[in-house]
Every structure is written in C-alpha cells, then in structure tokens.
Structure 1
Amino acid sequence: MSFPAPPTSFSALSQFVFDRVLNEDPLTHSLIILGTLPSPDLDNRVRAIVRLEKTALNAADSSKFFGDNGIIEKVQLEESTDIYTWLFGWLGEDRERDVKINVICPATDVHIRKYTRQDQIMVHETPALYEKYVKPYISAFPASRTTWVENILKGLSEQSKVLYSCPEFLILPDMKWDLKTIRSLYLVAIIQDRTIRSLRDLRKHHVDLLRSIRIEATRVVQAKWGLGNGSLRMFIHYQPSYYHFHVHIVNANYQGGLGMTVGQGHLLDDIIALLELDTFEGPGIFERMTLTYGLGDQHGLFTTLSPGAEL
C-alpha cells in the first residue's frame, strides 16, 4: 500500500479539502479539522487531520505593537465605557482579526496589582474574619471602580449588546468573549440590587432571583445560538473582581482560567440548593460559612488574610 507524500509545500497543502471540525480549544486558540488530500493514484483521496493554532505573542515585541511602524496595523472599536475600552486588532490588512485588545485608562495602582502575575495562597475565611476584615474592605471599595457597571445598568453604555433585561437584572456578553467563538461563549448577568455586594450577602429570599437568572440565561442561549439544556456553566466568584453582584455564564465546554478553579468559582446551582435549605430567620448560610479560596499576593486582602491573621 502506497502512501501520499506529506504536504510539505504551500501548493500541496492548498489541495486540502475541508470535511468537518474535529475540535476547537479557545484556551490554546487552536482548531483541529478533518479533510482529504490527493492520494498517489490521483483517483481517490485520503483523509487528513490538520491542527491550526495561533502562535503565542512574543513578549520581546511588546514595545513594537503600537506606533507608526507597529505590528498591529488596524483596530476596530468594540465598546468603550468609563475607563474600559475593548477593540479587535489585525496584524495585516487582509487577515482575520488576530487579537482582542482590552484597555484600562487611566489605570490605578489597584488595576496594576490585579493584572500582575501573582502567587496564590489558600485562605480559610471564617465568619469572624469576614466581619472584622473583609466586610469593611468591601464597604470601602471605591464607587469609581464600578462606574462602568452603573453605566450599563442605567442604560448609558453597551445597550446594543444587552441580550435580556428586566427590573431585577440584565444579561450581556462579557468582555472576555470574542463575540464569535460559540465554544468559548461567555456572558454575564448583572444585578440591579446594589445591596448585594458578594456571595456573603445572599439570603434565602434571593432564590427566586437566582432561579430567574438561570432560566433566562438558558432561554437566551437556546434562542440565539441553539445551545440546549445542560450547555451552560453558571457560577459566582468569591472573591469577585468587583463588588457588584454578578453571575458568570459560560459554555460548558469552555476551559477557562483561574476564575473557574475550585474555590473561587461557586456553581449557581449549588448556591441555589444551599439557599433552599436555609431558613428565613437569622444570619444566612453564606454569612455563617467558612469559605476557602485562593488569594493572590497582589490582592488588597492578601496581607490581612495570610495564614496566621489575628482576630
């Protein structure tokens, strides 16, 4: 049995005929496709698998991305609200968009710490630690850090992207999503109630609100992208990146980063189940629990909550 020569040239590879997608991985920016190439006898074709992966950005090129002779030749604005701007960039005029660009300007010291690579420690936040350290920290969180959220909730920005809106919450794409790759679909539900700052504030009477988010998110992705029941992973962060209550809604096949790891990400279904078991009287179950999670060394609570923190 004779085998075709490997496609070592552009002209040989150009004879590839696409059949179907085998796999896509938004995390590695790769795509695996099945197709055929000509066989030696020219009357038949043989199956071939091709894996395509966008190459990593080179840190050595950091100073060359922008400017008169920058590597990025064209950008397109996606959205801009308060200090946050999102764009897509091209490394050439005739290419498909190559990079998603997020800009924070002006960036504070807090922003810089947040986006700096961090070493993690595991924190066991008891109710007592929460009351003494974390709750005051959340209360002192500058309102300016959530101006962009207020702009969305008040209808001042991103209204063309809103997928669902009601008096209690709205659903729209998260800035992490490229708005194109369904496998990496990433939405967010933002709550109108400003008194819910974090997971610790949830009470039994919030169950109907959380159920409604689950129902509407499922309905939206079914209607818009044809994703059926069981296609979504919905979760809440603790600690969150900002203290205005929101729910992350992602494709169940999406392999995310640190925000989806054990500890920080709490499944919406599990939260609803726990609240259903709670009572209406007294402190809520999340106010009484010890919560364990990873905390980076650049976080504002790191020194306070490091092992050995005193009550």
Structure 2
Amino acid sequence: MPDISALKGFVLTEILNEEPDRCRLTLLGTLPSGWSAEESQDQPLQAIIRIEKNAFASEQAVALFKDLVHKTKLMGKQYTWVAGWLSFQASDIKQPQGDVKINVICPATDVHVKKYTKQKSILVRETPELYRRITLPFINSFPPERTRWVAEILAGRAEQEKVLYSSSECVVLPDMKWDLHTTESLYLVAIAHDPVLRSLRDLRGDVHLDLLKSIRREAYRIVGERWNIGRGGLRMLIHYQPSYYHFHVHIVNANYELAGFGMVVGQAHLLEDVISLLEVNPKIFETMTLTYGLGEQHGLYEQMKLTQSEVDD
C-alpha cells in the first residue's frame, strides 16, 4: 500500500494539462521514494497526479448557502455573477466523497507522461491490413507489467472490497474516474478474464457474444439493485484505441455526458451496437476499417499518420 502522507513531499516539475471545464489539473513531478514499498531506491519517483473537484453531494444542498459557502462577492451585475468561497473547516457538512479527487500514478513512465500530456489529435482510418501490420505489433510490444494491476484484480489479490460482480467470464467494479458517491456520474468497468481478448478487434460473434450479453445483463442488475437505475439508464462503451490492452467495457450513467471521459465519436463504441454488429457478421471487427482519433503523443500516431495515404477514399 502506498504511504499517502508522502503526497506532502510532491515536487512539481510541469503542468501536463489544465482542464478548467472539468475542474481538473494534471501535474508531473516527483514523490519521495517512501511512496511505494516496492521501490527500494532512495531516489525520488516520477509521478503524475490528477486532481479534480468532486461533485457536490445533493444531500448537502440545504446547507449550501447556510454553512458551506462562507464568502461571496458580486462579479457581474447584468446576469448576477457571484463568486463564492467554500468553508473547508465546517466539519458538520463535510462532503462524503471529499472536496477533491486525487489520482496518483507512481512510478510514472514516459508512456504515462505522453498519455496525460495535453495534445492535438487527428482522425485516422485503420484498415484490417494496417491493423495487422502496425497496430497488432504495437499491442504485442507491451510487457505484461503494463497490465499487472488488471491481473491482480482478476486473480483476487487487489481491489476485492470494491468488486461488485465476479464470474469466470469477468469482474465488475467502480472505475477510478468515479467518486464512488455521485450517482449522476456513476462510472463502472467490466474487465474480461480472457487474456487473449485485448481490444475491439479481437471480438468474434461465435465466441464472445455470450460474454458481452452477460456484461450488459449484470451491469443492469447491479445498478438496478444498488442505485435504482433502470433499463436505458446506462451507456456502455468499448474504446478503440483503449487506454490499456486487456478487454474491458465502460459502464456509465446515461445522463453523464462529459465527452472528455471517452464518450466521443471515433473512440467510443456502444456495447449495444457492437452486439448487433457481431450478430449480423461474427467477423466484422476483423474485416472492417475503423476510424478513430489519435493524440500526437500516442505510440501509434506517427506510423498511422504516415500510412493514411494508403487508405482508399
């Protein structure tokens, strides 16, 4: 377990990304070596920290202006724009989920740094031939350590207190993007056990339809029983390219429409549509051309950009 008190020793090197619309900062720096017991060296560890403001707890609405907002200032008269400052010392009205959410990646590799650095994107078209020639070798180049955290969850050695469902096919648990409290922003993830199944391209109708339908069924059962969300209340997504190459499905409240969380065209494929396509053609993701966005820091960016002239208009 990390020593979270070591966060006080964080030394800022660079601001990787500022996202005011999401009330989030992504920072690059170092943490003391004591952060991780697995790292024996005395040198500081490179770390990425993402800090964002959590949603307000709806049950605290009655106390919002009575106790929580302790200072206001009129900033604009035409539309009555008021700036407010929160009282973080009001112990009786503390946010159940905390006022901010902090994600720490440590030790952070250069790959992590590239992933979280603000970057421009382009849309590329990936034919089956380009997948076999460029994308598949890229996926195969990743060492098992990159998804060790997934293996630990699937083996029952990590995050077990958060697991909402487990079977021989998959596990379902909260995604780290969720604050574990605000139902409107509910965000779960279903991770398949099969290590050979790594991305959308690997799906075959005659093999994986039962898995995908099971994920859909269990997702609705879980959120129905725990959060009273009914049919049609979820948006279930498969990303391509995904953030890690072990097959998983994102399960999000359908009313949560923040595009920055991977809900944009060109990355997100609705589970319902994927199931329907596989029922029509079991090998469709082996044979179709996929169009998606790539950031300039992505490992596939340069090669895919150079080969776009090969794709017929």
TM-score strictly above 0.5: yes
Measure, in 2, the Cα distance between the counterparts of 1:257 and 1:119.
16
Q: What's the secondary structure of 1:306's corresponding residue? A: helix
Listed one character per residue, the Cα deviations across residues 187-219 of structure 1 (whole Å, up to 9, x for unaligned) are 000000001010000001211110010000000
AA of the residue aligned to 2:251: I
1:159-198 pair list within 5 angstroms: 159-198=160-199
Measure, in 2, the Cα distance between the counterparts of 1:269 and 1:276.
11
Q: What's the secondary structure of 2:219's corresponding residue? A: helix
Q: Given the superposition, is the C-alpha separation of residues 85 and 219 from structure 1 closer, same or farther in structure 2, using an over 3 Å criterion?
A: farther
Pick the structure with greater CA Rg.
1
CA contact (8 A) 1:84 1:148 kept: no
Matched, 1:278 2:281: yes
**Aligned-residue RMSD, C-alpha:** 3.1
Runs (5+) with no aligned partner, structure 1: 1-26, 30-55, 68-80
1:114-263 pair list within 5 angstroms: 114-204=115-205, 205-258=207-260, 259-263=262-266
Measure, in 1, the Cα distance between the counterparts of 2:111 and 2:183.
32
Q: Higher helix fraction: Structure 1 or Structure 2? A: 2
Listed one character per residue, the Cα deviations across residues 154-195 of structure 1 (whole Å, up to 9, x for unaligned) are 111110100011110010000000001100000000000001
Q: Given the superposition, is the C-alpha separation of residues 84 and 245 from structure 1 closer, same or farther in structure 2, using an over 3 Å criterion?
A: farther
Measure, in 1, the Cα distance between the counterparts of 2:183 and 2:290.
32
Measure, in 2, the Cα distance between the counterparts of 1:272 and 1:201.
13
Question: Structure 2 length normalisation: TM-score?
Answer: 0.70
Measure, in 1, the Cα distance between the counterparts of 2:25 and 2:125.
38
CA contact (8 A) 1:86 1:175 kept: no
Listed one character per residue, the Cα deviations across residues 98-156 of structure 1 (whole Å, up to 9, x for unaligned) are 11000000000000000000101000001111010000000111211111111110111
1:267 is aligned to: 270
Measure, in 2, the Cα distance between the counterparts of 1:124 and 1:182.
36
State the shift of 1:92 in Å.
3.8
Measure, in 1, the Cα distance between the counterparts of 2:108 and 2:117.
13
Listed one character per residue, the Cα deviations across residues 41-96 of structure 1 (whole Å, up to 9, x for unaligned) are xxxxxxxxxxxxxxx4689xx89xx99xxxxxxxxxxxxx9999999999944343
Runs of 4+ in 1 over 2 A off after TM superposition: 56-59, 81-96, 307-311
Runs (5+) with no aligned partner, structure 2: 1-19, 33-37, 40-46, 55-86
1:36 is aligned to: none
Q: Given the superposition, is the C-alpha separation of residues 178 and 127 from structure 1 closer, same or farther in structure 2, using an over 3 Å criterion?
A: same
State the shift of 1:221 in Å.
0.2
> How many residue pairs get matched?
239
